[in-house]
Structure 1
Amino acid sequence: MEEPDSVDRLALIRERLQGFARAREWGQFHSPKNLVMALTGEVGELTEHFQWLTEQESKELSDAELEGVREEIADVQIYLLMLSDKLDIDLLRAVEDKIAKNEQRFPVERVRGSRRQRWPE
């Protein structure tokens, strides 16, 4: 059997998440506000894995540390997907549009090698 492409996989994950919430009758709690709050909590948990590490240490996580980070990244992605679904936002299209916007906002010849991300309009 052929593996689905990323778009199909995202749709399958969305359906699985919807079924998961529906079976538990959790949809009533999944307002955009609550999903954003849950997302913020998960980003905080992801941040905890890196808090107080040096730049180098953050690049050299143990297998156990990396697994913890992996789980938190998954939680963040789950809540982003649930939020985008609740607001009827095509998540992949939104990402593609934002990349295109950033390519215009930060032309290579103007920003190459600079950490500065705020530019006068």
Structure 2
Amino acid sequence: MNSTDRSDLLTLRDAVRDFAEARDWGQFHTPKNLAMALIGEAAEVVEHFQWRTPEASAALPEADRAEVALELADVLLYLVRLADVLDVDLAEAARRKLAINEARYPAEKAHGRADKYSRL
């Protein structure tokens, strides 16, 4: 596979891996620690929406959107690193989960509904 055939996700995985290796952070990047860091970063995303109305959360000021973008990037980076440490093909796992959800939530039953699949 040459570099033009690689997905953005694989390229990102390799960049995150190289970043961690250059700093000898592998010793700290256990699945437990990475999962905890992932949740911490996800909580930082949530803080930007806490106490806002649904309308205000959908119309963030540009400065807030820029901050949210960086927090989302942190979430993605920890997720990609965790998947790498666990040797999970994240793209394949996502495709598999999407197929499961397509079966659980057929469009003709789930359209416009927020019910769990067992209640459709």
Mapping of residues 74-113 of structure 1, within 5 Å: 74-113=73-112
- Shift of residue 118, structure 1, vs aligned partner: 4.4
Deviation, structure 1 residue 92: 0.7
Alpha-carbon deviation of 1:69? 0.5
Shift of 1:23: 1.2
Identity across the alignment (%): 45
3-state SS of 1:61 partner: coil
Q: Tell me which residue corresponds to 2:51.
A: 52
AA at the equivalent of 2:8: R
Where does 1:2-17 land on structure 2 (aligned, <5 Å)? Answer: 4=4, 7-17=6-16
Match of 2:20 in 1: 21
- Aligned residue for 1:32? 31
Residue 115 (structure 1) shift: 1.5
- Where does residue 70 of structure 2 map in the other structure? 71
Q: Distance in 1 between matches of 2:21 and 2:109?
A: 49
Question: What displacement does 1:107 show?
Answer: 1.1
TM-score, length-scaled by structure 1: 0.90
| Contact 2:83–2:89, Cα closer than 8 Å, also in 1 | yes
User: What do you get for the CA RMSD once the two structures are aligned?
Assistant: 1.8
Tell me the SS of whatever aligns to 1:29: coil
Distance between the aligned counterparts of 1:112 and 1:20, measured in 2? 42
CA distance in 1, matches of 2:74, 2:66: 12
Which residue of structure 1 lines up, in the alignment, with residue 60 of structure 2?
61
| Whole-angstrom CA distance in 1 between matches of 2:104 and 2:13 | 31
Q: Is the 8 A contact 2:105 2:117 kept in 1?
A: no
Secondary structure of the residue that 1:27 maps to in structure 2? coil
